[in-house]
Amino acid sequence: MKQYDVIILGAGAAGLMCAATAAQRGRRVLVLERANKIGKKILMSGGGRCNYTNYSVEPENYISSNPHFCKSALSRYTQWDFIGLVEKHAINTEERKHGQLFCVDSAKDILAMLVAECEEVGVEIQSHCEIRAVQELKNSEPDNLNHYLVAVDGFDGVAKLQNIRCSSLVVATGALSIPSLGGSGFGYEIATQFGLSLTERRAGLVPLMFSSSVKAICERLSGLALEVEVSCNGQSFTENMLFTHRGISGPVILQISNYWYPGDTIEIDLLPTLNAVEWLLEAKQQQGKTRLNSLLNNQISKKFVAELQKLWWPDVATDPLAQFSDQHLISIGEKLNRWCLKPSGSEGYRTAEVTLGGVDTDGISSKTMEAKSQKGLYFIGEVLDVSGHLGGFNFQWAWSSGYTAGSFA
Ligand SMILES: Cc1cc2nc3c(=O)[nH]c(=O)nc-3n(C[C@H](O)[C@H](O)[C@H](O)COP(=O)(O)OP(=O)(O)OC[C@H]3O[C@@H](n4cnc5c(N)ncnc54)[C@H](O)[C@@H]3O)c2cc1C
């Protein structure tokens, strides 16, 4: 039977980082990947340019039932450590807004870097194999460590079930988002098998949809983007919003989707730099002959203003501002700064960039990523109940948690 010190399930961001780190310590490491190719999400990320980290990474950029859990790993392996690695491999990079770091050429550079780091220290990576079962061999060895058996199909290209043995098993199988890129619930099954609890899971960093008349508006405006501030459940983000055929998307909507629950209303400030009520009342005094549409066209695209007009001032569309009552302008101004919409749902795991929730961090050591009740079993990356904001924070969590587990596994 083949034997390794560490078997890592999943050759994504967290699994590859963990593999290189553990092998650098002299551990014999095998990574098992179900898909035909490794690191698919890395390749697709950031529009093919991989937003691999952020200049400013804080625990506040993460959502988890235990907001303190991520702190230890994030400080053990920081964004500066990963930036150093990227520099060592001479990858061409650029900073975009909000401190987001991207590859200039291709996300392939990040994957190639991780593979090179793994190869240098002799990590074995096996893709296209199916893990059928994981079993614990409790205290069967004189070293008093737990050992695990992984039953795998397709290992070494052999289509028959083989058992491989290890003393540390790392679950890095990611989460439910985008099944075609490897999203799976396998990590949750292993957690449950070993008595760990799960927190509720839902799609995160995901576009929001509407039924009814709002959907029709979104369809008509599809492709149009504008900078807005969006708020929900005490959180606010200012960034671009994009209308789509199904509803709304763009960075600001992906960010707020992490805080939105079905049934919640979101508030959109269409003029985040203006007090719209004061602005409209002043314009009525100073530019009374101007039409409201013309005034708004300086701030918001013509097409969108035409839609708002149908909603909020359909009967007085051609009237000059002077003929609007103050009350009507106040009401329109309030809605411009606080357009309340109730999404019918999110696009779900099909397009979500992350899964919120996951393996409950209460059962995991934040210092090592090892399960508290199960020696030798580790969970890293997105499978855990730790999700980042948009902006490179999810990869940073994969690097930090992967490095942490790799330092102990
Ligand atoms: C389209 C898209 C764009 C994104 N862009 C960014 C970005 O620019 N910046 C950012 O920070 N984050 C981004 N993310 C989020 C980021 O990709 C994830 O948070 C990150 O990949 C999680 O790393 P992971 O290693 O935990 O999981 P993954 O990268 O998903 O890796 C898990 C691996 O496990 C494998 N696996 C699953 N089940 C099994 C099984 N049963 N047996 C064996 N292997 C299995 C999968 O095939 C996969 O290779 C993006 C996500 C998506 C979907």
Question: What is the model's pLDDT at position 183?
Answer: 85
Ligand 1 mean position to 196 CA, how many Å?
Answer: 22
Query: What values do phi and psi take at 63, rounded to 5?
Result: -115, 130
Average pLDDT rounded to a whole number, residues 9-26: 98
Q: Quick one: tokens of 6?
A: 């560490």
- Measured between alpha carbons, how far is residue 400 from residues 75, 377, 403 in Å? 8, 17, 5
Residue 331 clears pLDDT 70, i.e. is over it: yes
Instruction: Evaluate whether the domain defined by 208-346 bears CATH number 3.50.50.60.
Output: no
Query: What values do phi and psi take at 344, rounded to 5?
Result: -85, -20
Rg (CA), the chain: 25
CA distance 207 to 248: 6
Give yes or no for residue 14 CB within 6 A of ligand 1. Answer: yes
Query: What values do phi and psi take at 104, rounded to 5?
Result: -80, -40
Give yes or no for residue 402 CB within 6 A of ligand 1. Answer: no
Ligand 1 atom with the shortest distance to the CA of 394? 11
CA distance 395 to 86: 13
Find, among 29, 11, 133, the residue nearest to 409 by Cα: 29
Mean pLDDT of the chain: 96
Q: Quick one: tokens of 229?
A: 């501030």
Give yes or no for residue 249 CB within 6 A of ligand 1. Answer: no
Average pLDDT rounded to a whole number, residues 196-219: 96
Give yes or no for residue 300 CB within 6 A of ligand 1. Answer: no
Residue 5 clears pLDDT 80, i.e. is over it: yes
User: Which alpha helices (H) appear in 125-275, and where do they start and end?
Assistant: 186-193, 212-221, 251-257
Question: CA-based angle 100:102:105, to the nearest 5?
Answer: 165
Question: What is the model's pLDDT at position 361?
Answer: 98
Query: What values do phi and psi take at 231, rounded to 5?
Result: -130, 150
Distance from the Cα of residue 183 to its chain's centroid = 12
Give yes or no for residue 204 CB within 6 A of ligand 1. Answer: no
Q: Quick one: tokens of 170?
A: 């790392």
pLDDT tens track for 22-54: 999 999 999 999 999 999 999 999 999 999 999
In this structure, the residue with its CA closest to atom 49 of ligand 1 is 12
Please say whether the dihedral angle defined by the alpha carbons of residues 58, 60, 62 and 67, taken in this order, is positive or negative: positive
Average pLDDT rounded to a whole number, residues 269-274: 97
**Which of 102-116, 150-164, 298-312, 332-346 shows the lowest per-residue confidence on average (mean pLDDT)?**
150-164
Ligand 1 atom with the shortest distance to the CA of 396? 11
Give yes or no for residue 409 CB within 6 A of ligand 1. Answer: no
AA identity, residue 14: A
The domain locations on the chain are 2-202+356-406, 208-346
Average pLDDT rounded to a whole number, residues 196-222: 96
Ligand 1 mean position to 163 CA, how many Å?
Answer: 26
In this structure, the residue with its CA closest to atom 51 of ligand 1 is 353
CA distance 218 to 304: 10
Give yes or no for residue 32 CB within 6 A of ligand 1. Answer: yes
149 with 165: CB under 8 angstroms?
Answer: yes
Find, among 234, 168, 131, 155, the residue nearest to 29 by Cα: 168
> For the purposes of burial, counting CB atoms within 10 Å of the CB of 194, is it exposed (0-12), middle (13-18) or buried (19 or more)?
middle
In this structure, the strands spanning 29-32 and 124-126 are parallel
Ligand 1 mean position to 28 CA, how many Å?
Answer: 24
Contacts of 117 (CB under 8 A, 6+ apart): 16, 20, 85
Contacts of 119 (CB under 8 A, 6+ apart): none
Average pLDDT rounded to a whole number, residues 238-248: 97
Q: Quick one: tokens of 390?
A: 């948009």
Give yes or no for residue 381 CB within 6 A of ligand 1. Answer: yes
Ligand 1 mean position to 174 CA, how many Å?
Answer: 5
What is the architecture of the domain spanning 2-202+356-406?
3-Layer(bba) Sandwich (3.50)
Ligand 1 mean position to 169 CA, how many Å?
Answer: 19
Strands across the sheet containing 93-95: 51-54, 100-103, 93-95
- Measured between alpha carbons, how far is residue 279 from residues 226, 308, 335 in Å? 19, 17, 13
Ligand 1 atom with the shortest distance to the CA of 102? 8
Give yes or no for residue 392 CB within 6 A of ligand 1. Answer: yes
Question: What is the model's pLDDT at position 143?
Answer: 66
Give yes or no for residue 178 CB within 6 A of ligand 1. Answer: yes
pLDDT tens track for 47-79: 999 999 999 999 999 999 999 999 999 999 999
* Cα separation of the two ends of the chain: 21
